[in-house]
A and B are shown apart, each in its own frame.
Chain A
Amino acid sequence: MNKQFLLIGDPKGKRLDVFINCLKNIDIHNYKIIKWNDVLEDISIIDNNLKENTILKVEPPEKDLEIYRGFLKKGINKGNLSKKEIEKIDFSEYPIVEPSQWYYGIQSTFMDIENLLKRNNHRNIFSMVDFNEALIMMDKEKTYELLSKNKNNFELPKRLKKYTSYEEFREDNFNKFLKCFIKLKYGSGSTGIIAYVNNPKIKEEKIYTSLNYKEVKGKKVFFGNYKVNCFKDKKVIKNMIDWVLENGAHIEMWIPKSTYNGYGFDTRAFVIDKKADYLISRLSKTPITNLHLKNKRMESEEFLKASELEVIKKASEGVMDIFNNSLYSGIDVVTSTGFKPYIIDVNPFGDLFHNLIDTKRNVYYKEIKTAIERIDNIK
Chain B
Amino acid sequence: MKKDEIKFYLTWEDEDEDEITVVTKIQDYLNEYGKYENEKLIIGMWSEAYECSPDHIVEFLVENAEQFPNLKEIYFGDMEGEECEVSWINNTDLAPLINTFKVEKFTAKGGLGLRFDNIKSESLKSLSIISGGTDKETLNDLINAQLPNLERIEIYLGVCDYGFNAEVEDIIPFTKRENFPKLKYLGLKNSEIQDEICEKVFEGDILKDLRVLDLSLGTLGDKGAKVILDNIEKLSHLECFDLTYNYISENLLNQIGSKLKEYNVKFLSSQEDVDIDEDDEWRYPYITE
Binding site for B on A (CB under 8 A): 177, 199, 201-202, 204, 206, 230, 255-259, 262, 264, 285, 336-340
Contact = CB atoms under 8 A, between A and B. Distances in A.
A340 B80 contact: no
Given A199-B50, A337-B83, A256 B88 contact: no
Contact of B12 (A177, A204, A336): A336
Contacts of B50: 177, 199, 201
A199 B88 contact: yes
B51 A262 contact: no
A337 B15 CA distance: 11
Interface string B60-95: 000000000000000000001111000110100000
A230 B289 CA distance: 11
B81 A338 contact: no
Given A337-B11, A337-B45, A264 B82 contact: yes
Given A202-B112, A206-B289, A256-B80, 17 more contacts: A177-B50, A177-B51, A199-B88, A201-B88, A202-B87, A204-B87, A230-B289, A257-B82, A259-B80, A259-B82, A262-B80, A264-B80, A264-B82, A338-B12, A338-B13, A340-B12, A340-B13
B278 to A, nearest CB: 12
Given A177-B51, A199-B50, A338 B80 contact: no
B51 A201 contact: yes
B51 A338 contact: no
A202 B51 CA distance: 10
26 contacts: A177-B48, A177-B51, A199-B50, A201-B51, A201-B88, A201-B90, A202-B88, A202-B112, A202-B162, A204-B87, A255-B12, A256-B80, A256-B82, A256-B83, A257-B82, A258-B82, A259-B80, A262-B80, A264-B80, A264-B81, A264-B82, A336-B12, A336-B13, A337-B82, A338-B11, A340-B12
B88 A338 contact: no
Chain B, interface residues (CB within 8 Å), range: 10 to 19
Contacts of A264: 80-82
A204 B50 CA distance: 12
A255 B162 CA distance: 24
A337 B81 contact: no
Nearest to A264: B82
User: Which 6 A-B pairs have CB atoms at the shortest separation, nearest pair first?
Assistant: A338-B11, A336-B12, A256-B82, A338-B13, A264-B82, A337-B11
Contacts of B55: none
